[in-house]
Amino acid sequence: MKKQSNLSILMNYAGKHKILTYLSWILSAASAFLSLVPFWYIWRIIHDILDVYPDFSKANHITSYGCNAVLFAVISVIVYISALMCSHISAFRVAANIRKKLMEYITTLPLGIIEKYGSGKLRRIVNTSSAATETYLAHRLPDKAGAVATPIGLLFLLIIFDWRLGLLSLVPVALGFLIMMKMTGKEMEQKMNEYQNALSEMSNEAVEYVRGIPVVKTFGQTIFSFKRFKASIDNYEKWVIAYTKALRLPMMFYTTTINGVFAFLIAGGIIFTRNGVTNELLLNLVFYIIITPIIGTTLTKIMFMSEDAMIVNDALSRINDVFNEKPLSESAKNNIPSDYSIKFEHVSYSYDKNINAVNDVSLSIKSGQTVALVGESGGGKTTLASLAARFFDPQKGRISIGNIDIKDIPKETLMNTVSFVFQNSRLFKTSILENVRMAKPKASRDEVIEALRAAQCMDIIEKLPNGIDTVVGTKGVYLSGGEQQRIAIARSVLKNAPILILDEATAFADPDNEVRIQQALSALSNGKTVIMIAHRLSSIVDADCIYVMKNGKIAESGSYSSLINKNGIFTDMWNSYSKAAKWKIEKEVQ
Which pLDDT tens digit goes with each residue over 380-406? Answer: 888 888 888 888 888 899 999 988 988
Bridge partners for 405 per DSSP = 400
d(CA 234, CA 202): 9
- Is there a contact between 485 and 425 (Cβ–Cβ < 8 Å)? yes
pLDDT of residue 100: 92
| Residue 488 near residue 419 (C-beta atoms within 8 A) | no
On the question of a common fold for 6-324 and 342-589, the answer reads: no
Please tell me the predicted confidence (pLDDT) of residue 587: 45
pLDDT of residue 312: 82
- State residue 211's pLDDT score: 62
Q: What is the pLDDT of residue 216?
A: 58
Predicted local confidence at residue 123, as pLDDT: 81
Q: What pLDDT is stored for residue 35 in this prediction?
A: 87
What pLDDT, on a 0 to 100 scale, did the predictor assign at position 590? 47
Q: Is 426 exposed, middle or buried (0-12, 13-18, 19+ CB in 10 A)?
A: exposed
Are 558 and 567 spatial neighbours (Cβ–Cβ below 8 Å)? Answer: no
pLDDT in the model for residue 585: 45
Strand order in the sheet with 545-550: 418-421, 499-503, 529-533, 370-375, 545-550, 553-558
Residue in 509, 385, 506, 482 with CA at minimum distance from that of residue 427: 482
CA distance 76 to 402: 73
**CA atoms of 282 and 392, how far apart (whole Å):** 77
Distance CA 215, CA 217 (A): 5
- Matching CATH number, 6-324, of 3.40.50.1820, 1.10.1740.10, 1.20.1560.10, 1.10.260.40: 1.20.1560.10
**pLDDT number for residue 214:** 62
Q: Supply the DSSP string of 498-567, one letter for each residue.
A: SEEEEESTTTT--HHHHHHHHHHHHHHHTTSEEEEE-S-GGGGTT-SEEEEEETTEEEEEE-HHHHHHHT
Please tell us whether the domain made up of 342-589 is placed in CATH 3.40.190.10: no
| Burial of 284 from C-beta contacts in 10 A (0-12 / 13-18 / 19+) | buried
pLDDT number for residue 24: 93
Q: Each residue of 262-318: pLDDT tens digit?
A: 777 777 777 777 776 666 777 777 777 777 777 767 767 776 666 677 778 878 888
Q: How far apart are CA 176 and CA 252, in angstroms?
A: 11
* Gap between the Cα atoms of 277 and 194, Å rounded: 56
The domain limits of the chain are: 6-324, 342-589
Predicted local distance difference test score (pLDDT) of residue 73: 92
Residue ranges in the chain whose pLDDT is less than 50? 1, 584-590
